[in-house]
């Protein structure tokens, strides 16, 4: 009927049978298979059905710097006195789940491509919060929503910084931020910090010698020493930045959790010259897993950052941005912050009491005015590296001071976080720490 | 009682009243205020209550390249024939909402800090999918989950590429990918493409002249010409990469939507030498707003990419990764893909028919074997730049060919996407396009 050669028809039948589209029943004939096969992809290279296993080293040249592990899970049963980790157990989880559901079911367009600057609703809510409580005269257009403060810093590093630039940093600090800012080949230069915060006169001397492009500071609760930068240092820093024309990258990472006295307004609230790039985050007030941060910067810098953001991941997580905006608008977030402030303050006091009682002879520390961790100095009778190992054996983890330094070995400082543990867990953790201390000293 | 001077007490009362902690009732006395005030932040710089408005230009030097707009919203009522935009209206939204709810309520730890490589559950599901349908012998450990393919390309650009490197690209392509790969200061070099895909002999000539570090290709459905790279070109490319030791960045951006014949296995499935860096995405099969992509690469490259990812945004969106894994495990995603493949194929055919009927005299095009857009050439009687303007006036948008070129002005190519519109909307869009064509020709 089709006018093709019989052999062609036979070949076609064979191929269709081989592919499973036809089945033969001996004595009865050839029929369409009762269940058609999944269309299998076409192999264009004969050989094994599945490809070769992934190589460890690529065939092209690749100098992989041995990458430090960025994340190690906490062993089950171990208590981690890690700073900067909020207690997500008390999150308004149901409210969040409802917000996600309303977003998914009521706002279909949230799953489409959109503005890399972030959901307008969240930018409005953030702008309102920043106006009301941080003295920043901003509107929704001024806010760039980022995936955590880390992304804001990564964008600044790319928008602002050039190879050969010098970035001044507090001599103790947050290395992932340093890496993000220096990614284009800038040099980091440490500036001393003391009980008043950054030593601005030392920074001024640095500016005489080096092309300082920016200074990275954590003025509300210095990371990791917890010191709040005094008013006179703040004014001096703004004045120096104005005179020398460098940028101030202000990382206000846990603004809300301030316990003694009133919270201090950010440098950005007094930035008449236009030198501050203000970075904030919701990781501590909500949850680190939600990855909501923000950048407030002069419009030219912000626009450059938005374009660069597109080239990284195109846009934020719109469902999350929408859900968080809802929690902000209906007051749920604010209530959560009030609750957690009281909780963290109690945990701070409890942790301090326990440490004084059980480890007072080994660890000296100040009680921080804010934040979720304290900064202590360990007696030389207890070398921190051995102490860390013993502590892990006893089921407790903490952050050794060298995580925050310029690779100085032998620093006896430690960071002990109390935010994520209940008072009972804190007692257990401190007890284990004390056992570990005794084991180390022996 | 306290042993302080009376004046001190009076001053204290005044301050507490001023701050709203105390209230005075004339004739009755001073009492604790019935509603305690919000703790107001401390102003350390006298002056206005709220800070200065954000500057447009920063005080420090900043050369902002005029940033092209990365996103323009579609005006209400306008139909956009944009390629690469899936129809998110038919997403299994309820299943997704349920998955998010289960994640939020059942897996509290999803909101904590975690592995930058991505949720193990999703990495397993992706590995299984890649083994089953793409011939890749991978396990969960081999997968790096990224926020869309854009992030995978951004990580490759940072892990692999150095200033002075040359990256060969198809002479028509996806500019955000080019920018991501060249971000460290590499040069892009175009290689011609034809009906078989990349001209590998021309690439070989380029390698004689230049230090080619990598080639970026879209071999399944060449972006934007829709051509599928033939078997012989694929084998030649792998062989050349092996011989010359450059990397092949394979962007398999809409693998699932293949209509004619069987889908072709990726280059990565035959990568015996270890030269392919394989990038995939779920943006087309699920939704762009969910930002799920993945990178498969030799372990040394992958580990470097994971460390770099941490410095960008620390980790992915774990709730989303978890929810998507659930949709993959219970078959919801696969059913959605099967449905949408039939839908997109019908839309392709409908769009092709309408175009032939109403614009056949102005636009020549091939019917693509896969994907969500076709590639057409417009008659010179209809200059594309004017046509674009008229089309917008008539309520229809499309992508002009110069979006994909090396800044060549005057190209008469256009990309017309049919994925996101129903057949009825496609008819309307084509009708508007025809009116716009008539208006342009006059």
**Is pLDDT above 60 for B15?**
no
Give me the residue from A213, A299, A312 closest to B54, CB to CB: A299
The three-class DSSP label of residue A51 is: coil
Strand pairing category for B22-25 and A166-170: unpaired
Q: Which residues contact A137 (CB under 8 A, 6 or more apart)?
A: A131, B50, B51, B52, B53, B54
Supply angle C-alpha A244, A247, A252, rounded to 5.
135
- The pLDDT score that the predictor gives to residue B108 is 85
Name the nearest CA neighbour of B144 among B289, B293, B277. B293
**Is pLDDT above 80 for B219?**
yes
CA B259 to chain centre: 23
Can you tell me the mean pLDDT for A218-229?
96
Can you tell me the mean pLDDT for B127-150?
96
Look over chain B and give the mean of its residue pLDDT values, rounded to a whole number. 91
Contacts with B240 from chain A: Cβ below 8 Å: none
Supply angle C-alpha A392, A396, A399, rounded to 5.
85
The model carries a pTM of: 0.89
A131 part of contact set with chain B, CB < 8 Å: yes
Q: Which of A22-31, A197-206, A407-416, B213-222 has the lowest mean pLDDT?
A: A22-31
Asked if B304 lies within 8 A of A65 by C-beta distance, the reply is yes
- The pLDDT score that the predictor gives to residue B67 is 66
Looking at chain A, which residue has its C-alpha nearest residue B141? A54
Express each pLDDT in B337-367 by its tens digit.
999 999 999 999 999 999 999 999 999 999 9
CA A166 to chain centre: 24
**Pick the residue with more confidence: A65 or A307?**
A307
How many interface pairs between A and B have CB atoms less than 8 angstroms apart? 368
A6 part of contact set with chain B, CB < 8 Å: no
**Is pLDDT above 80 for B279?**
yes
Q: Quick one: what percent of chain A has pLDDT higher than 70? A: 92
Q: Which residues contact A430 (CB under 8 A, 6 or more apart)?
A: A351, A354, A355, A358, A359
Asked if B41 lies within 8 A of A263 by C-beta distance, the reply is yes
**Is pLDDT above 90 for A37?**
no
Instruction: List, in sequence order, the alpha helices (H) in A117-159.
Output: 120-134, 148-159
The three-class DSSP label of residue A64 is: coil
| Spatial distance between the Cα atoms of A165 and B413, rounded to a whole number of angstroms | 43
- Cis peptide before B224, with omega less than 30 degrees from 0? yes
Asked if A111 lies within 8 A of B287 by C-beta distance, the reply is yes
Residues 66-95 on A with a CB inside 8 Å of B are 67-68, 70-71, 73, 85, 88-89, 91, 93-94
Looking at chain B, which residue has its C-alpha nearest residue A268? B51
- The pLDDT score that the predictor gives to residue B86 is 94
Give me the residue from A97, A111, A176 closest to B104, CB to CB: A97
Q: Please identify which residue in the block is written with the tokens 């932040």.
A: B41
| Spatial distance between the Cα atoms of A393 and B50, rounded to a whole number of angstroms | 52
- The pLDDT score that the predictor gives to residue B261 is 78
| Spatial distance between the Cα atoms of A369 and A257, rounded to a whole number of angstroms | 9
For the beta sheet containing B363-365, the strands, ordered from the edge strand earlier in sequence to the opposite edge, are B363-365, B373-378, B413-417, B399-400
Contacts with B43 from chain A: Cβ below 8 Å: 135, 265
Express each pLDDT in A141-167 by its tens digit.
999 999 999 999 999 999 999 999 999
Express each pLDDT in A265-292 by its tens digit.
999 999 999 999 999 999 999 999 999 9
Express each pLDDT in B16-46 by its tens digit.
665 556 666 766 777 776 555 545 566 665 5
Strand pairing category for B212-217 and B166-170: parallel
Going by pLDDT thresholds of 50, 70 and 90, the confidence category of residue A70 is confident
How close does chain A come to B384, measured CA to CA in Å? Answer: 25
Query: Dihedral sign, CA of A236, A242, A245, A247?
Result: positive
CA B40 to chain centre: 42
Among left, alpha and beta (phi > 0; psi -120 to 50; other), residue A29 is: left
Look over chain A and give the mean of its residue pLDDT values, rounded to a whole number. 91
According to DSSP, the residues that pair with A170 across neighbouring strands are A191
Tokens of B213: 């570090």
B324 part of contact set with chain A, CB < 8 Å: no
Name the nearest CA neighbour of A296 among A53, A118, A99. A118
Contact A86, A288 (CB under 8 A): yes
Name the nearest CA neighbour of A189 among A67, A66, A198. A198
Looking at chain A, which residue has its C-alpha nearest residue B318? A289
Contacts with A310 from chain B: Cβ below 8 Å: 70-71, 150, 176
- The pLDDT score that the predictor gives to residue A299 is 94
Tokens of B42: 């401390």
- The pLDDT score that the predictor gives to residue B254 is 87
Contact A347, A426 (CB under 8 A): yes
| Spatial distance between the Cα atoms of B86 and A113, rounded to a whole number of angstroms | 10
Give me the residue from B44, B62, B180 closest to A264, CB to CB: B44
From residue A152, alpha-carbon distances to A119, A145, A174 in Å are: 16, 8, 14
Express each pLDDT in B56-79 by its tens digit.
999 999 987 766 777 889 999 999
Contacts with A183 from chain B: Cβ below 8 Å: 158, 311
- Other beta carbons less than 10 A from residue B60's beta carbon: 22
- The pLDDT score that the predictor gives to residue A50 is 62
Asked if B50 lies within 8 A of A320 by C-beta distance, the reply is no
Name the nearest CA neighbour of B77 among B427, B394, B295. B394
Q: Which residues contact B22 (CB under 8 A, 6 or more apart)?
A: B13, B16, B30, B31, B32, B33
The three-class DSSP label of residue A207 is: helix
How close does chain A come to B366, measured CA to CA in Å? Answer: 22
- Other beta carbons less than 10 A from residue B336's beta carbon: 18
Contact B355, B434 (CB under 8 A): no
Output the DSSP codes for A10-27: HHHHHHHHHTTSEEEETT
| Spatial distance between the Cα atoms of A18 and A10, rounded to a whole number of angstroms | 12
Q: Quick one: what percent of chain B has pLDDT higher than 90? A: 80
According to DSSP, the residues that pair with B30 across neighbouring strands are B24
| Spatial distance between the Cα atoms of B366 and B225, rounded to a whole number of angstroms | 9
Among left, alpha and beta (phi > 0; psi -120 to 50; other), residue B317 is: beta
- The pLDDT score that the predictor gives to residue B41 is 63
| Spatial distance between the Cα atoms of A137 and A296, rounded to a whole number of angstroms | 10
Phi, psi of A81 (to 5 degrees): -90, 60
HEC readout, chain B: CCCCCHHHHHHHHHHHHHCCCEEEECCCEEEECCCCCCCCCECCCCCCCCCCECCCCCCCCCCCCCCCCCCCCCCCCCEECCCCCCCHHHCCHHHHHHHHHHHHHHCHHHHCCCCCCCCHHHHHHHHHHHHHHHCCECCHHHEEEECHHHHHHHHHHHHCCCCCCEEEEECCCCHHHHHHHHCCCCEEEEECEECCEECHHHHHHHHHHCCEEEEEECCCCCCCCCCCCCHHHHHHHHHHHHHHCCEEEEECCCCCCECCCCCECCHHHHCCCCCEEEEEECCCCCCHHHCCEEEECCHHHHHHHHHHHHHHHCCCCHHHHHHHHHHHHCCHHHHHHHHHHHHHHHHHHHHHHHHHHHHCCCEEECCCCECCEEEEEECCCCCHHHHHHHHHHCCEECEEHHHHCCCCCCCCEEEEECCCCCHHHHHHHHHHHHHHHHHHHC
Name the nearest CA neighbour of B377 among B359, B362, B355. B362
| Spatial distance between the Cα atoms of A142 and A125, rounded to a whole number of angstroms | 12
Q: Dihedral angle at the C-alpha atoms of B39, B44, B48, B54, nearest 10 degrees?
A: -100
Contacts with A279 from chain B: Cβ below 8 Å: none
Q: Which residues contact A332 (CB under 8 A, 6 or more apart)?
A: A92, A95, A326
**Pick the residue with more confidence: A113 or A63?**
A113
Contact A276, A243 (CB under 8 A): no
């Amino acid at each position: 009927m089709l006018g093709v050669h019989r052999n062609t028809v036979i070949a076609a039948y064979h191929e269709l049978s081989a592919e499973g589209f036809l089945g033969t029943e001996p004595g009865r004939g050839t029929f369409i298979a009762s269940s058609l096969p999944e269309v299998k992809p076409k192999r264009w290279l004969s050989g094994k059905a599945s490809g070769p296993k992934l190589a460890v080293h690529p065939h092209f040249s690749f100098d992989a710097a041995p990458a430090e592990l960025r994340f190690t899970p906490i062993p089950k049963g171990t208590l981690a006195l890690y700073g900067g980790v909020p207690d997500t157990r008390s999150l308004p989880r149901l409210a969040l789940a409802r917000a996600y559901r309303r977003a998914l079911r009521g706002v279909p367009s949230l799953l489409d491509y959109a503005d890399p600057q972030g959901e307008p609703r969240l930018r409005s809510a953030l702008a309102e919060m920043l106006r009301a409580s941080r003295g920043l005269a901003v509107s929704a257009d001024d806010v760039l929503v980022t995936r955590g403060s880390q992304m804001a810093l990564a964008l600044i590093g790319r928008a602002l910084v050039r190879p050969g630039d010098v970035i001044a940093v507090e001599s103790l600090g947050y290395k992932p931020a340093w890496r993000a800012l220096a990614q284009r080949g800038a040099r980091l230069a440490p500036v001393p910090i003391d009980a008043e915060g950054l030593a601005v006169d030392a920074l001024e001397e640095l500016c005489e010698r080096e092309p300082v492009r920016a200074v990275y500071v954590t003025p509300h609760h210095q990371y990791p020493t917890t010191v709040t930068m005094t008013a006179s240092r703040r004014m001096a820093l703004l004045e120096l930045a104005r005179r020398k024309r460098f940028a101030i990258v202000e990382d206000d990472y846990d603004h809300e959790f301030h316990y003694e006295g009133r919270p201090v307004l950010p440098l950005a609230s007094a930035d008449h010259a236009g030198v501050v790039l203000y970075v904030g985050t919701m990781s501590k007030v909500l949850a680190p897993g939600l990855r909501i941060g923000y950048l407030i910067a002069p419009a030219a810098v912000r626009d450059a950052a938005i374009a660069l953001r597109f080239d990284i991941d195109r846009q934020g997580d719109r469902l999350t941005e929408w859900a968080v905006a809802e929690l902000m608008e209906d007051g749920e977030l604010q209530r959560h912050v009030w609750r957690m402030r009281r909780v963290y303050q109690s945990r701070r006091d409890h942790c301090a009491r326990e440490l004084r009682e059980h480890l007072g002879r080994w660890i000296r520390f100040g009680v921080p005015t804010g934040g979720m961790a304290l900064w202590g100095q360990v007696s030389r009778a207890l070398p921190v590296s051995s102490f860390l190992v013993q502590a892990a054996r006893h089921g407790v983890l903490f952050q050794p001071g060298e995580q925050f330094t310029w690779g100085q070995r032998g620093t006896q400082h430690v960071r002990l976080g109390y935010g994520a543990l209940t008072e009972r867990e804190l007692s257990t953790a401190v007890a284990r720490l004390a056992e570990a201390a005794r084991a180390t000293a022996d």
